Structure 1
Amino acid sequence: MAPVWKEHLHKYITGIVQNNGHKIIAINSMPDHLHLFFGFRPNQALSDLMRIVKGDSSEWINNQRLCTGKFR
């Protein structure tokens, strides 16, 4: 992950998680994925939250044109 936009992506994902009523504790990026550590409220299925995080963050990366080609 490019260090130039890593922090912006982390903030964007933090917003997604918080807007769904949960609390981010830490985010750690790897070259091809990232790890989330968060306080999870049981009012939402974990699979639903992850679907939203993956979909919204991928759309954000594509809209910002942060990589060549389509990010998935």
Structure 2
Amino acid sequence: MANTYHQIYIQLIFAVKGRQSLLKKEFRQEFFKVMVLMIQDLGHKSIIVNGVADHVHCFIGLNPDKTISDLVEKLKTSSNHFLKDKKWADGNFSWQKGYGAFSYSKSHVDNVYQYILNQEIHHQKMTFKEEYMTLLRKFEIEFKDEYLFEFLDDVPL
């Protein structure tokens, strides 16, 4: 559309159902590269995808003609099928319901990129629950405990 300009940076976070550690280190980086391509195929700019065994962070430039919820639904579905087709996760693999979406200005892009790049180091010191709750508080997002991710056996990865 003529005269339409945008700059929308979103960090998406979603977790493996049951918080199982199914995103194994031996295939994780290749899987995240595939997720980058999936995001691009859905019409968004993928800045970085990374995570650990039980959750994923996707940092994207959002296409304003598309919705975040549609992106997450299609990305979860496609990545779920990909993992099962490759036999990288058992047949019971699925993502938990829900996701986190946090917006950033251009001045924060480098810091968010570095944060997501260093997920394994970061989670040696902080659990996923601590990380996620920190983001919810930082962004002043109201929430109900019963609608949060399952934080089972939440110990650093």
Same fold at TM > 0.5: yes
Ranked by relative contact order (alpha carbons within 8 Å, sequence separation 6 or more), the top structure is: 2
1:70 partner amino acid: N
Tell me if structure 1 keeps the 8 A contact 2:36–2:48.
Answer: no
Corresponding residue for 1:18? 40
Q: Is the Cα contact below 8 Å between 2:36 and 2:46 reproduced in 1?
A: yes
The match for 1:40 is 62
Distance 1:30 1:41 in 2: 26
Q: Output one character per residue of 1:5-38: Cα deviation in whole Å (capped at 9) or x when no partner.
A: 1112111111111011211111221221101111
Equivalent residue of 2:31, what SS?
Answer: helix
TM-score, normalised to structure 2's length?
0.44
Q: 62-71 vs 40-49, which deviates more?
A: 62-71
Aligned partners of 2:43 and 2:77: how far apart in 1? 18
Choose between structure 1 and 2: higher helix proportion.
1
* Matched residue count: 72
Q: Is the 8 A contact 2:49 2:57 kept in 1?
A: yes
Q: TM-score, normalised by structure 1?
A: 0.89
Q: Which has the larger radius of gyration?
A: 2
User: What's the CA shift string for 1:34-69, capped at 9, x where partnerless?
Assistant: 011110011111100000000000000011111233
Paired-residue identity, %: 28
Partners of 2:91 and 2:43 lie apart in 1 by 33
Can you give the 5+ residue segments of structure 2 that lack an aligned partner in the other structure?
1-22, 95-157
> CA separation in 2, counterparts of 1:68 and 1:18?
26
